[in-house]
């Protein structure tokens, strides 16, 4: 037994020690050693002293480093997931289903010490409905550094996987990077944007990482979060919303159960990254999250939020002018924005100039 062995064991106590005051680390380390008979019987006092100093110095150094640099510790991960619902309620417009499904599922996942599998969320809806905005809010509340966290890996299909004939290289890359990132931090997040543009079959490289495995080749992937983002299912969502309005029901009455089956079938059958995917057949996507089309009133709310962001006085004339500049559908009853709130900022630039 030597001080290197102690350093090995010290990693198991780091999460406990990193939150302690620096001047108590040596006392705690000494207490740990002296309380384990199998260790203390094997070493003499001098070795204990050397080990405590060496091990304590290493842990103190790691503790100090992680006070200022991002580490895979509670200080930097699971940062403020308990307030995610409030952020959605205050900042996300017109998406009551998202607020309910996403905030609760992530909070519950992070609360589990040993979840059964990685959390997999699939975001569906037309452009401008807030899918990437929601992903950014999630990042902000899961990681202290938000979207800048080194524990987030984002793939944009049109940029990262542009050539269908390079499927094998893409699979090798994604598999390698997920393993490397998870080894560095078992609370990692992987975002796949523009999933409808992904080569068919690529997404199934994730199957082993999101299935009910305690570990894969010695690596535990169950604490990770995977998010798919795409426009697939947008037409089905819109049809369901139209049907709802024609029956005289409120938008708020639409339930996730109504939408989930429609989205899963649409994703599996239509061209795109999820077409014929084994991960869908195996039921490994935990939640299909529908982003509903934005109504004219939601667009006006987006305009007001943008005015506040620019520190501009709220002005209903400007709000109405920007909302009027947007395009709406269907032609007979133009009530939904064709691009959600995506063009609000640019339209406002023209009006405020």
| pLDDT tier at 10, thresholds 50, 70, 90 | very low
Cα 285 to Cα 26, 79, 228, 264: the distances in Å are 46, 25, 9, 9
Same domain for 160 and 90: yes
- Residue 203, pLDDT > 90, answer yes
Regarding beta strands 336-337 and 328-329, do their DSSP bridges make them parallel or antiparallel, or are they unpaired? antiparallel
Same domain for 91 and 174: yes
**Which of 272, 291, 310 is a domain's end point?**
291
96: tokens are 């009551």
Q: What is the pTM of this model?
A: 0.82
Helix (H, G, I), strand (E, B) or coil at 333: coil
Number of domains in the chain: 3
Same domain for 162 and 127: yes
Beta strands in 70-224 (DSSP E): 119-124, 152-156, 189-193
What dihedral angle (degrees, nearest 10) is formed by the CA atoms of 28, 29, 34, 37? 120
Q: Is residue 230 part of a domain?
A: yes
Cα 240 to Cα 55, 93, 245, 346: the distances in Å are 62, 19, 9, 30
Q: Is residue 53 part of a domain?
A: no
Same domain for 140 and 24: no
Same domain for 325 and 265: no
Same domain for 129 and 102: yes
Q: For position 329, what pLDDT does the model report?
A: 92
Same domain for 144 and 15: no
User: CA-to-CA distance for 336 and 327, rounded, in angstroms?
Assistant: 8
Output the DSSP codes for 183-210.
HH-TT-EEEEESGGGSPTTGGGGGHHHH
Angle of helix 344-352 versus helix 316-325 axis, rounded to 10 = 120
Q: For position 311, what pLDDT does the model report?
A: 96
pLDDT tens string 291-320: 999 999 999 999 999 999 999 999 999 999
- Residue 161, pLDDT > 90, answer yes
Asked if residues 128 and 329 have their Cβ atoms less than 8 Å apart, the reply is no
Asked if residues 114 and 222 have their Cβ atoms less than 8 Å apart, the reply is yes
Q: For position 81, what pLDDT does the model report?
A: 81
Helix (H, G, I), strand (E, B) or coil at 149: coil
Same domain for 246 and 146: yes
Same domain for 316 and 274: no
User: CA-to-CA distance for 227 and 234, rounded, in angstroms?
Assistant: 17
Same domain for 339 and 280: no
pLDDT tens string 13-33: 444 444 444 444 444 444 444
User: CA-to-CA distance for 326 and 347, rounded, in angstroms?
Assistant: 8
| pLDDT tier at 350, thresholds 50, 70, 90 | very high
**Which of 269, 291, 313 is a domain's end point?**
291
Mean residue pLDDT across the chain: 87
In this prediction, residues 327-351 reach a mean pLDDT of: 94
Give residue 11's domain range. Answer: 1-36
């Amino acid at each position: 037994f030597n001080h290197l062995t102690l350093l090995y064991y010290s990693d198991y106590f780091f999460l406990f020690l990193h939150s302690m005051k620096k001047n108590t680390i040596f006392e705690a380390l000494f207490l740990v050693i002296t309380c384990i008979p199998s260790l203390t019987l094997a070493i003499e006092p001098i070795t204990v002293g050397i080990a405590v100093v060496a091990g304590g110095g290493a842990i103190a150094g790691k503790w100090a480093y992680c006070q200022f640099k991002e580490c895979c510790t509670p200080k930097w991960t699971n940062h403020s997931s308990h307030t995610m619902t409030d952020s959605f309620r205050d900042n996300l417009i017109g998406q009551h289903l998202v607020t309910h499904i996403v905030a609760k599922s992530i909070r519950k996942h992070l609360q589990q010490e040993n979840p059964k599998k990685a959390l997999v969320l699939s975001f569906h809806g037309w452009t401008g409905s807030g899918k990437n905005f929601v992903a950014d809010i999630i990042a902000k509340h899961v990681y202290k550094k938000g979207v800048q966290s080194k524990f987030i890996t984002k793939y944009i299909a049109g940029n990262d996987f542009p050539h269908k004939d390079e499927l094998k290289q893409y699979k090798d890359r994604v598999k390698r990077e997920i393993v490397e990132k998870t080894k560095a931090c078992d609370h990692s997040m992987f975002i796949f944007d523009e999933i409808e543009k992904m080569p068919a079959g690529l997404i199934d490289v994730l199957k082993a990482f999101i299935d009910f495995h305690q570990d894969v080749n010695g690596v535990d992937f169950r604490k990770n979060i995977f998010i798919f983002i795409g426009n697939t299912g947008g037409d089905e969502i819109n049809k369901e919303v139209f049907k709802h309005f024609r029956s005289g029901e409120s938008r708020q009455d639409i339930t996730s159960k109504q939408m989930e089956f429609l989205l899963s079938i649409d994703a599996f059958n239509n061209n795109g990254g999820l077409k014929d995917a084994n991960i869908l057949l195996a039921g490994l996507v935990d939640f299909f999250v529908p982003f509903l089309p934005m109504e004219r009133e939601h667009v006006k709310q987006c305009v007001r939020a943008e005015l506040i962001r620019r520190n501009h006085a709220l002005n209903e004339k400007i709000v109405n002018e920007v909302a009027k500049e947007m395009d709406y559908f269907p032609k007979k009853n133009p009530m939904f924005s064709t691009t959600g709130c995506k063009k609000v900022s640019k339209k406002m630039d023209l009006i405020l100039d």
